[in-house]
C-alpha cells in the first residue's frame, strides 16, 4: 500500500538493484546530466533556467544514490 506522501521526509531507502543495473542507470543519468550542463554552458541566456538547474541537481542526487546504493 502506498504512503500518502512517499517523498515526504528524509528517510533513506535501500535500492534493490544489482550492481550491474545501478551502473547502467548511473551511466545513463550522467549522460543526461552532461547534456543539460552543456546546454547551460552554451546558452548564457538560459543560465537562469530554473527547470534545467533543478534537473541537473536531481540527476546529481540520483547518481549519488546509485553510487552508495540508497
Q: What is the mean pLDDT of residues 20-32?
A: 94
**Which long-range CB contacts under 8 A does 59-68 form with residues at least 24 apart?**
59/29, 59/30, 59/32, 59/33, 60/33, 62/25, 62/29, 63/26, 63/29, 63/30, 63/33, 65/15, 66/15, 66/17, 66/22, 66/23, 66/25, 66/26, 66/29, 67/22, 67/26
Instruction: Read off the pLDDT of each residue in 21-50 and give the average, rounded to a whole number.
Output: 86
pLDDT of 49 strictly over 80: no
- What pLDDT is recorded for position 43? 78
The whole-angstrom separation of Cα 39 and Cα 51 is 12
Higher pLDDT, 65 or 45: 65
Is pTM beyond 0.75? Reply is: no
Residue ranges covered by each domain of the chain: 19-68
What is the rounded average pLDDT for all residues in the chain? 82
Amino acid at each position: 500500500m502506498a504512503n500518502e506522501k512517499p517523498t515526504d521526509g528524509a528517510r533513506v531507502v535501500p535500492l534493490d538493484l544489482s550492481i550491474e543495473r545501478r551502473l547502467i542507470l548511473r551511466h545513463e543519468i550522467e549522460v543526461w546530466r552532461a547534456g543539460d550542463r552543456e546546454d547551460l554552458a552554451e546558452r548564457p541566456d538560459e543560465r537562469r533556467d530554473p527547470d534545467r538547474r533543478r534537473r541537473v541537481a536531481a540527476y546529481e542526487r540520483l547518481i549519488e544514490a546509485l553510487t552508495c546504493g540508497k
